Every structure is written in C-alpha cells, then in structure tokens.
Amino acid sequence: MSLDRDGSRKRLSLDTLDTMQVIITDKWRLEVQHKHHNYSRSLDPSTHNVYRRRTLAQKDLIESMTNTGARSMQILNAIQKEDPETRVSATDIRNERKAIRV
C-alpha cells in the first residue's frame, strides 16, 4: 500500500489491500469489502478506447468534413463507408470535432 501526497492530490495503491482492510486519512475513510471487480470484463472491443482510435486519414476526414459543416452522423457514415470494420463511434467523432474547434 502506498499513500502519496502532492499538494492536495492523493494517490493510493489498492492492489495490496486485503478484504475488509480500513484506511483512514485526514479526509477519507476507505474500507475494502471485496478486492475483486463487481463485474466481468467487457467482451465488446468497442467499449475500449484503444480499439476506437482514429487513424490519421480518419482524423483528416473528420476535420475536413467538420470545416464544410457536416454533422457527426454524416462523418460517421463516411468513415464506415471507407472502413466497415471501424469501431469509431459518433461520440468519438463529436469529441474529435470539439478538439478541432478549440
């Protein structure tokens, strides 16, 4: 277990805690009741960001279509037309568009 303090940020490593162990700090009380996840791992790759990364060509397409006024779903349809196996979602495109505008 490690507890570090950098200003107001705290970092706590939970990998070594046993069941029902209690940690008390000046602001937090942590009680580990079950040290395993309460859900099974996801089998759908689209839930993991690493599989939804945009290629350079997709990023260029998103930027050019955004600059011409296309909507997110229109951009998604264009990407899916070029790559039917893509895991990119409409939310990913909206996030990319937001980054372009900033």
pLDDT digits (tens, 9 = 90+) for 6-46: 555 555 555 555 545 566 667 777 666 666 776 777 777 77
User: What is the number of other CB atoms lying within 10 angstroms of the CB of residue 85?
Assistant: 5
Instruction: With respect to residue 90, please indicate whether it lies within any of the assigned structural domains.
Output: yes
Instruction: With respect to residue 85, please indicate whether it lies within any of the assigned structural domains.
Output: yes
Instruction: With respect to residue 10, please indicate whether it lies within any of the assigned structural domains.
Output: yes
Domain that holds residue 28: 1-35
Q: Name the amino acid, one letter, at 47.
A: T
CA dist., res. 26 & res. 8, Å (int):
11
Instruction: With respect to residue 23, please indicate whether it lies within any of the assigned structural domains.
Output: yes
Instruction: With respect to residue 41, please indicate whether it lies within any of the assigned structural domains.
Output: no
Based on the fold, state whether residues 67 and 97 are members of the same structural domain: yes
Q: Read off the tokens for 25.
A: 């700090």
CA dist., res. 80 & res. 66, Å (int):
16
pTM of the model: 0.58
Instruction: With respect to residue 40, please indicate whether it lies within any of the assigned structural domains.
Output: no
Number of domains in the chain: 2
Is residue 81 over pLDDT 50? yes
Q: pLDDT tier at 61 (50, 70, 90 boundaries)?
A: very high
Instruction: With respect to residue 42, please indicate whether it lies within any of the assigned structural domains.
Output: no
Instruction: With respect to residue 76, please indicate whether it lies within any of the assigned structural domains.
Output: yes
CA distances to 19, 45, 53, 56 from 96, rounded to whole Å, are: 41, 20, 11, 12
CA dist., res. 68 & res. 74, Å (int):
11
> Do residues 33 and 12 make contact, with C-beta atoms less than 8 angstroms apart?
no
